[in-house]
A and B are shown apart, each in its own frame.
Chain A
Amino acid sequence: MVECVRDAAAGRRRIRVRGAGTVARPPSPEAIDLSLAGLSGLHDLRPGDLVATADAGTPLEHLAGALGAHGLRFPLRPPDPAWRGTVGAVFAAAADGLAAREGWRAGDVLLGARAVLGTGEAVAVGAGVLKSVAGFEVCRLLTGSRGTLAAITRVTFRVEAVPPASRTLLGTFAEAQDARRAIRAADALPMAPRALVGRAQAGDHRVLVLLEGPGAAVDAAATRLADHGLADCDPEVLAAWTREGCGDGWCTGPSSRGDPFATRRPDASDYRVDVLRGRFAAHVPQSRSSAPPNALFERVRAAFDPGGVYEAGRGYGAR
């Protein structure tokens, strides 16, 4: 990897980094297509510490098997079971999915990372423990960078225990206001739902709630939500919604960014949540393109890749 990057820099070539290619668009013709799929393997698993380290090209389905043997799982579920994405891509794309615990998105789950900068230098940021403030929060910057700052080669991340019980509830409503009432009820549960998603589709309004935790608590929550028209459904529905996005309907989910002090734009390109005000925005799982990076960000980018070896245009926008 280091040699490849150094050769590219020396030859003024650009590199497009990808894992298994499930997220990335094809590289431009002149760029080197650098696949990290070969950097695969669970490097370290410490069940008692709730920490694991894996090479970036490790498929999530392989990770799931290794963690499952210890009653653990990866906290993010961006793929449906058929997705063959890599663990590195989850962080590189900030692919939180619809069932990320609030406050524990990809950038929060990633504890440490090794990466190769555009200079060809290999760095190791973060730490291998649940909590560290040594050094700057580079992991959070790498999360969502889509290989435009550095090539992530290894990740250390938090894992979690598989919950004792799980129920997926679905409600279908003819009227949006009834769907909103169901969403409010789920949002007010004492045990926070793991996923709370709404979707307008084919003339009706659907609300999906994922409850996880101790059995009695899950059942108690489900009973409360039954009064609001939510009933058990196939857990695959959440995976299907994740896979399909939300089409041209509205969707709520873990808020990637809230902005309470400005008017929300009901814009289809806007991935935001406004559950309790009853206004919704479409779910857009791909990289958002918006205002181009400013001079400060470009200086930050140059700290990683002064020569512009890694192809930009995704994640944080073009140079």
Chain B
Amino acid sequence: MSRLRAVVPTDAVRALPDERRVYASDGQMLHPGVPDVVVLPRTTAEVVAVLRVAAELGAPVVPRGAGTGLSGGAVASHGGVLLGTSRMRGILALDPVERRARVQPGVVNADLGRAAARHGLRFAPDPSSQAACTVGGNVAENSGGPHTLRLGVTAHHVTGVVLVTSDAEIHRLGNCGDDDAPWSDALAALVVGSEGLFGVVTEIDVRLVPEPECVRTFLASYVSVEAAGRAVAAVMACGTVPAAVELMDALAVRAVESHARAGFPQDAGAVLLVELEGGREEVEAEEVPVLAALRSAGALEARRAVDDAERARMWKGRKEALGALGKICRAYYTHDGVVPVSRVPEALAAMSAIAARHGLRLASVSHAGDGNLHPLLLFDRADAEELARGAAAGREILEMCLALGGSLTGEHGVGSEKRELLAAQFDAPTRGLFERLREAFDPGRRMNPGKVFPDGAACGETGLAAGAKPARGWL
């Protein structure tokens, strides 16, 4: 502790038990882990100093943004140093002509959005947690959000990073580097989605996109999630890529209406929120086939938001769905599987059946346009047996997604939550490549141990260098 306090301001070090327990969980609260110490640096130099101390002590380091992640990726499951970026929240530069910004990792996604909006620009990745999540967290998980269907996920919008690796070396990559080098750009791209295993990102160079001239938002309701799923496939097949296609089932809709009064029909089996954006003539032309596609799947109703206020209410309802569901159950377990868009109807039906077989309620809130499903299994956290059924159902859902040709995770990351299933998606040689890439950045495997890779050999998986003391032994 004294060594950390010698390199960062005293108030940046949190060591009391109550202070550390605040960081025990992230948005996935099932497997907490209390760090041995929390450090909140403000600059790249302070991050370097912290990592140098951690390296000397052989301590694991867990980078953490706002702690909104849903895969346990920001939890100190092996103790050690939790390095929070909440004090690194400067927008270092914003160039509206070049449509670029350079930010520290602790900048809240929505704050960057507001800064960009003053210039008619926006940062495209818009996770539902954007009011709290950080750009650094977006980089770690390669975050998506509803509007990344047309504009792309975080990786499409990051052009450079400053990365401090576990050996306290600074790497300026991509646009953050001095060299116009393809290999530097490639390394910057590789860092996105590395879930904190490659180092601590201390600066991010991002691309901003113009706000569209015209936005139209449509709400369609269906008798069932399967029918809504067929509508999703029909919309995606009509030749237009919407800005967003979001699906909510009846349980989610009722929860949202009791919480946010978004104007969703409470008697529907499912609703779709579809948004088009672009030039006015472009959107007006695309509206016709999209509405036809929505109606072709038997929409009970398909209407357009009459004004910005109604549009805002619809999106408030969608983005607050998880919070709304939290009010009707003691806990829920959110998954993030992806299936091919054409198989969304089948996947939705399968998810319902899996939940029913395990005696659990299921709510579905999904980025259905790219097949990214978010089934929420509702359970009583105080009931260990129900929790176990939830875990089993969640695993079956992810296995189902893989069986349909999908992926374990569309935006939440593997974290600790899904690491045991990594082998279900990637074969041994591929996992071996991932492991070697991790070791290329962090030979001692001290960065964010217990994440992405399943438990295997003892020392490697605890992230300790050979001969180093166990994490809790260095205090």
Binding site for B on A (CB under 8 A): 46-51, 71, 94, 102-104, 107-108, 117, 121-125, 127-138, 140-141, 143-145, 160-161, 164, 189-192, 213-217, 219-221, 257-261, 270, 274, 276-277, 287-288, 290-291, 293-294, 296-297, 299-300, 302-304, 315-317
When the two chains form the complex, which single residue of A131, A136, A220 contacts B194, counting CB atoms closer than 8 Å? A136
Complex: A284 Cα to B61 Cα, angstroms: 42
Are A128 and B405 within 8 A (Cβ)? Answer: yes
Q: List residues of chain A with CB within 8 A of the CB of B278.
A: 190-191, 213, 217
Q: List residues of chain B with CB within 8 A of the CB of A213.
A: 278-279, 282, 285
Nearest-neighbor residue (CB-CB) of A216 within chain B: B281
Q: List residues of chain B with CB within 8 A of the CB of A192.
A: 210
30 contacts between A and B (CB under 8 A): A46-B340, A48-B340, A103-B151, A103-B209, A121-B429, A127-B338, A131-B144, A131-B153, A132-B406, A134-B408, A137-B190, A138-B434, A138-B437, A140-B155, A191-B278, A191-B279, A191-B282, A192-B210, A213-B282, A258-B98, A261-B100, A276-B97, A288-B180, A288-B181, A296-B187, A296-B441, A297-B183, A300-B187, A303-B433, A316-B182
Chain B nearest CB from A248 CB (Å) reads 20
Are B410 and A132 within 8 A (Cβ)? Answer: yes
Complex: A259 Cα to B432 Cα, angstroms: 35
Complex: A192 Cα to B153 Cα, angstroms: 19
Are A129 and B338 within 8 A (Cβ)? Answer: yes
Residue of A143, A215, A216, A260 contacting most chain B CB atoms (<10 Å):
A260
Are B102 and A261 within 8 A (Cβ)? Answer: yes
When the two chains form the complex, which single residue of A103, A124, A143, A215 contacts B430, counting CB atoms closer than 8 Å? A124
Complex: A290 Cα to B182 Cα, angstroms: 8
Residue B185, interface by CB 8 Å: yes
Q: List residues of chain B with CB within 8 A of the CB of A125.
A: 426, 430, 433
Are A144 and B186 within 8 A (Cβ)? Answer: yes
Nearest-neighbor residue (CB-CB) of B414 within chain A: A134
Chain A nearest CB from B427 CB (Å) reads 7
Q: Given the interface contacts A50-B236, A191-B281, A261-B102, does A317 sit within 8 Å of B181 by beta carbon?
A: yes
Q: Given the interface contacts A214-B286, A261-B102, does A103 sit within 8 Å of B409 by beta carbon?
A: no
Q: List residues of chain B with CB within 8 A of the CB of A316.
A: 182-183, 186
Q: List residues of chain A with CB within 8 A of the CB of B148.
A: 131
Complex: A270 Cα to B180 Cα, angstroms: 8
Are A131 and B155 within 8 A (Cβ)? Answer: no
Complex: A299 Cα to B442 Cα, angstroms: 10
Are B285 and A132 within 8 A (Cβ)? Answer: no
Residue of A121, A137, A145, A302 contacting most chain B CB atoms (<10 Å):
A137
Residue B32, interface by CB 8 Å: no
Complex: A287 Cα to B409 Cα, angstroms: 34
Residue of B193, B432, B433, B441 contacting most chain A CB atoms (<10 Å):
B433
B138-149: CB near A (< 8 Å → 1, else 0) gives 000110100010
Chain A nearest CB from B274 CB (Å) reads 16
Complex: A146 Cα to B351 Cα, angstroms: 42
Q: List residues of chain B with CB within 8 A of the CB of A49.
A: 236, 340-342, 371
Residue B416, interface by CB 8 Å: no
Q: List residues of chain A with CB within 8 A of the CB of B52.
A: none
Residue B47, interface by CB 8 Å: no
Are B370 and A103 within 8 A (Cβ)? Answer: no
Nearest-neighbor residue (CB-CB) of A117 within chain B: B433
Q: List residues of chain A with CB within 8 A of the CB of B413.
A: 133
Residue B93, interface by CB 8 Å: yes
Task: Give the number of chain B interface residues (Cβ < 8 Å).
Answer: 92
Are A140 and B406 within 8 A (Cβ)? Answer: no
Nearest-neighbor residue (CB-CB) of A49 within chain B: B340
Complex: A143 Cα to B183 Cα, angstroms: 11
Question: Which of B171-179, B378-386, B466-474 lies at the interface with chain A?
Answer: B171-179
Are A128 and B411 within 8 A (Cβ)? Answer: no
**Apart from A123-B427, A317-B182, what 18 extra A-B contacts exist at CB < 8 Å?**
A50-B241, A127-B338, A129-B340, A131-B411, A132-B338, A132-B408, A133-B414, A136-B438, A137-B192, A192-B210, A214-B281, A257-B174, A288-B181, A296-B187, A296-B440, A297-B183, A299-B440, A316-B186
Nearest-neighbor residue (CB-CB) of B408 within chain A: A134
Complex: A245 Cα to B427 Cα, angstroms: 41
Nearest-neighbor residue (CB-CB) of A104 within chain B: B152
Nearest-neighbor residue (CB-CB) of B154 within chain A: A133
Are B239 and A141 within 8 A (Cβ)? Answer: no
B188-206: CB near A (< 8 Å → 1, else 0) gives 0110111000000000000
Nearest-neighbor residue (CB-CB) of B192 within chain A: A137
Complex: A214 Cα to B183 Cα, angstroms: 38
Task: Please provide the 7 A-B residue pairs with the shortest distance between their CB atoms, ordered closest to farther.
Answer: A214-B285, A190-B279, A260-B98, A191-B279, A190-B213, A132-B407, A303-B436
Complex: A117 Cα to B413 Cα, angstroms: 25
Are B371 and A131 within 8 A (Cβ)? Answer: yes
Are A302 and B440 within 8 A (Cβ)? Answer: yes
Residue B353, interface by CB 8 Å: no
Q: List residues of chain A with CB within 8 A of the CB of B98.
A: 258, 260, 274, 276
Q: Given the interface contacts A191-B281, A290-B180, does A258 sit within 8 Å of B159 by beta carbon?
A: yes
Are A258 and B430 within 8 A (Cβ)? Answer: no
When the two chains form the complex, which single residue of A50, A107, A131, A219 contacts B338, counting CB atoms closer than 8 Å? A131
Residue B233, interface by CB 8 Å: yes
Chain B nearest CB from A151 CB (Å) reads 14
Are A108 and B152 within 8 A (Cβ)? Answer: yes
Nearest-neighbor residue (CB-CB) of A119 within chain B: B429
